[in-house]
Structure 1
Amino acid sequence: MKNRMLVVGLGVLLAALFAFTYSKKETRKVPAKPNFIFILADDLGYGDLGCYGQKRIQTPHLDQMAANGVRFTDFYTGSTVCAPSRCALMTGKHMGHAYVRGNGEIPLRAEDVVIPERLKTVGYTTGMFGKWGLGLAGNAGAPPLKGWDEFYGHTHHVAAHFQRPDSLWTIRDGQLVPEAQPKGTFANEVFTNKALAFLQDHQKEPFFLYLAFTIPHAELHLPPKYLAPYLDQNGQSTFAPEKPWADGQHYGGQPNPKAAYAGLVTSIDDYVGKVLQKLKALGLEENTVVLFASDNGTHVEGGRTSADVEYFQSSGPLRGVKRDLYDGGIRTPLLVQWKGHAPRGKVSRHVGAFWDVPATLYELAGAAAGAELDGISLVPSILQKGTQPRHEYLYWEFYERGFDQAVRQGDWKAVKQRDKGNTLELYNLKTDPGETQNVAAKYPELVARLEQILRQAHVKSPIFPLAKK
């Protein structure tokens, strides 16, 4: 009898232990201070990745990242060009409120608090490698003054147009200084290697790594190993016929623009793969949130033509490219991988934008989110748990063509353009994602409501005066 009772008792104990272990596994909480990696491409189109429908360009690592995490379908950049988009990403403010609303080497101010500054207040080490574009040496937006512990890259936009720079900037003894580069060095190879070293050096402390590539933007130059997959055995482009881009212009010459663009996208994919492999080797996958996006839509510059955009379907089903406020200019791929926390292979149709990124990271890091933020946290969408708060609307404005505006509210998208007479165009993105059917005449009350949002979302800017209508 005693032996039988002992067996029963052991069985109950083992069952309890199993139940406790299983329960503990199911209710595992996220790390108190997860690491963050934000990887940003420069002028990558919404349709340039295999996981977003690309058929001609190889992106296996990013496709695997999508399979390992959450892929967002309705996520937007901060703007349709570089500097303001990055300002929205870093400050959490949309274009109606942001200080930097256009290109032109306009620095952030001391009062413009950015992600690395706030994360440092809760113990994060910060490193940025690539294109900053929000401040130069000697002004308030310089990387050492905006919370970066380590920096290696470009501060000036025009310098970032070229893939083999003579020098790059770095922080040394608290100061921003230039550092000469060996002739023929490809900048994005340097940025990737610096990022890998940062991970190695800071693996035992919470960190924020911002890896901001300068590709596939305009100068279509790349290491031969990335061009090779798109050349045949005779060294000719597999995308022939090609229309060569002549030397002697702002961007360097390129005999095979289509093959070079494809190779640049594949090079981004390879660099991302190296970062993900490093995380795995260091055992940091479960403690690191990795995000990947582009700063705006694909470009038509440096030898790349509208026909090339169409050939690759770089904007996917969307209308427009960089400098447009149609979705092809401002909707971006967004991939989020967080092993063990974000579920695998999920798709989120949440409508969000760059100004949501700071709020998201601050919530996960336990940092206070300032009242100035326009964004909301994406944590429920990333974890696929709980109720995801939604925006009343998303808003953009753009000045290079005078003054253009756009707003998305639910499935509705409105666009106003100076060169089209400032008449509001209205599209239903659910039924017309390509923004081909302007239905403004059918919905006058909706048009009036969106016109009101366009007025209230814009706050007067001291450096971007509103052009007269």
Structure 2
Amino acid sequence: MSVKIDHLFFIGMLLFFSLSCKNNQNVTTTKISEEKKPNIIFIMADDLGYGDIGSYGQTKIKTPNLDKMASEGIIFTNHYSGSTVCMPSRASLLTGYDQGHASVRGNPVWTQSGNPVNLKPNEPTVANELKKAGYKTAIIGKWGLSEGTAKGNMPSNHGFDYFLGYKTHGEAHHYYWDTIYKNNEPFILKDNNFKLKQGKYTHDVFVNEALSYIEKEKNNPFFLYLALTIPHLELTVPEDSKEPYKTLGWPKRKMNTKGHYKNDKEGNITYAGMVSRMDRDIGTLFEKLKELGIDENTIVFFTSDNGPEYEKNDHFFNSNGDLRGGKRDLYEGGIRVPFIANYPGKIAPGSKSNHISAFWDFLPTVCDLAGVKPSNKDINGLSLMPELMGNTKAQKKHDYLYWEFNEKQGPIQAIRKDEWKLVWKLEGKPELYNLSKDIGETENLVLKEPEKLNEMLRILKNARTEHSEFPLETRALAIKRRSNK
């Protein structure tokens, strides 16, 4: 009897340990799966128009890799940059604040004091948030948030483990600049001469560094902010990128070659060659992800920091499609930008979204991806995760989006609420547009829609916080005040 009981007991124990081990294995597998955070790559072009790539309507410039990225992922048709110029746009992207609440609201010299305003010391950024989740973080390319002589505003002060690129805007205007930065120290490209356009094309330096970084960090969750400078003036590109466009009989556009920007002589072929070179290199980046076997665990975003400058007056490429204006405008052409996201197996191929979103949504979106909460509770951004994953019904919507801009023609403010857009100029009349019917902002509806105008003006009144360096007055007054001191 006891032998039989012992035998049954032994069999029972075997079953117990067998099931226990199996269950533990499942728990471990699930835990590993839950902890496997996606790599995040954010690619930003510089002054690329809404319509400069094929998936947004471009017909002359060839962008097969970006078009493939779009066909295998999602494109947003109502996505907006942080600003209509570089520095404040990048600040909004990194911090989650719109231009009514950001610490940086203008380019370096357009401040009340005449001194550049950078990010606040230790101001949390996307990189800070991702480091909390165990990410390696890098920016390669154009930083542009360490202007002037102020210290403590390098990428390393804002959550980035690694940096190779331009520290300031002026340096980033030249593709053969000889001194970039590696982390906090100057990095010399010894054979470069920007005046003669000799040496290494800095765009190529950044792309090669990005590929090396991905290879190095392939076993870690990483965030790579690849801030390219194409196609910002100056317009110049190695000859091999011009070849496909030289025999097409395009009209010539003569460029100024002796000013601040050391442009190539002919603009149209050069511009197309620059955009296609960027597209080629983005294709190489996707190939690298696949080669390393990390493509399915990497989400890649692509956008532009604001609207185009090269095509603002000459519309050979129709860089903005039907949109009005370009860089330094708060019309759609200055702030509506392409936005593509690719995440194999997670984002449905061929998706298109008309959800209204902006740069300040990026920070809460990556926090969602990484499983952390934003440090600042008052940011203006909303996570785009539901929209990215096809759950449109669960996607939170903005009450409105807000911008302000204050250079020679300023100050200008703009509000977008649903299909309505208000453009307010301090020294002009309010402009009200219905974008669902008039994407080109051609018909001012102020007289036809007085109730809607009043609603938008009430929103505008409370859309911003005061900032001593960015008051809503003409810059001419600030310049006069400084000269009288």
The TM-score with structure 1 as length reference comes to 0.88
Are 2:181 and 1:176 aligned?
no
Give 1:207's aligned residue. Answer: 222
Q: Which position in structure 1 is the counterpart of 2:208?
A: 193
Q: Write out the 4+ residue segments of structure 1 that deviate beyond 4 Å after TM superposition.
A: 29-32
**Contact 1:168/1:181 (CA < 8 Å) preserved in 2?**
no
Correspondence 1:427 to 2:433: yes
Work out the CA distance in 1 between the residues paired with 2:190 and 2:223: 26
Cα gap change, 1:305 to 1:76, in 2 (>3 Å): closer
Q: Is the 8 A contact 1:221 1:260 kept in 2?
A: yes
- Distance change >3 Å, CA 466–CA 243, structure 1 → 2: same
Alpha-carbon separation, structure 1, partners of 2:154 and 2:431: 39
Partner Cα distance (2:419, 2:347) in 1 = 26
The change in CA–CA distance for 1:244 and 1:305 in structure 2 (over 3 A counts) is farther
Given candidates 239, 242, 245, the residue that maps to 2:250 is: 239
Aligned AA (1:418): L
For 1:368, the equivalent position in structure 2 comes to: 373
Residue aligning to 1:460: 466
Task: Letter of the 2:443 partner, please give it.
Answer: Q
- Mapping 1:131-142, distance limit 5 Å: 131-136=142-147, 139-142=151-154
Q: Residue by residue, what CA displacement relative to the aligned partner does 1:219-266 show, whole Å, maximum 9, x if unpaired? A: 11111111111112xxxx7312x1312322111132210111111111
Name which of 375, 380, 404 aligns with 1:397.
Answer: 404
> Which runs of no fewer than 5 residues in structure 2 stay unpaired?
1-32, 109-115, 193-198, 478-485
Give CA deviations for 1:53-84 in whole Å, capped at 9, x if unaligned. Answer: 00100000000000000010000000000000
Question: Residue 318 in 1 paired to residue 328 in 2?
Answer: no
**Count of residues in correspondence between the two structures:** 427
The aligned runs of 1:319-334 (5 Å cut-off) are 319-334=324-339
Q: Who wins on radius of gyration, i.e. which is larger?
A: 2
Q: Is the 8 A contact 1:32 1:366 kept in 2?
A: no
2:100 maps to 1:96: yes
Amino acid at match of 1:41: A
Residue of structure 2 equivalent to 1:118:
129
CA RMSD of aligned residues (A): 1.7
- 2:140 and 2:206 in contact (8 A); partners too: yes
The answer to whether the Cα contact below 8 Å between 1:165 and 1:181 also exists between their aligned partners in 2 is: no
Aligned to 1:153: 165
In percent, how many aligned pairs have the same letter?
42
Partner residue, 1:54: 58
2:42 alignment partner, SS class = strand
- Contact 1:143/1:176 (8 A) holds in 2: no
Q: 2: CA distance between counterparts of 1:106 and 1:159?
A: 17
- Structure-2 separation of matches of 1:446 and 1:50: 36
3-state SS, counterpart of residue 230 of structure 2: strand
Residue range with higher mean Cα deviation, 270-279 or 102-111: 102-111
TM-score by length of 2: 0.85
Matches within 5 A, 1:285-434: 285-300=295-310, 306-307=313-314, 310-369=315-374, 370-385=376-391, 387-400=394-407, 401-419=409-427, 421=428, 423-434=429-440
1:20-76 CA distance string (max 9 Å, x none):
xxxxxxxxx887421100000000000000000001000000000000000100000
Any idea what the Cα deviations from partners look like across 1:149-207, whole Å, max 9, x if unmatched?
A: 11100011011001111121111xxx333333433211110110010001000000110
**8 Å contact kept, 2:44–2:304:** yes
Is 1:43 aligned with 2:43? no
| Equivalent residue number for residue 248 of structure 1 | 258
CA distance in 2, matches of 1:64, 1:243: 30
8 Å Cα contact 1:107-1:140 kept in structure 2:
no
Instruction: State the alpha-carbon separation in 2 of the partners of residues 111 and 462 from structure 1.
Output: 20
Amino acid aligned to 2:178: D
Pick one of 262, 285, 298 that aligns with 1:275.
285
In the TM superposition, residue 305 of structure 1 has moved relative to its aligned partner by 6.0
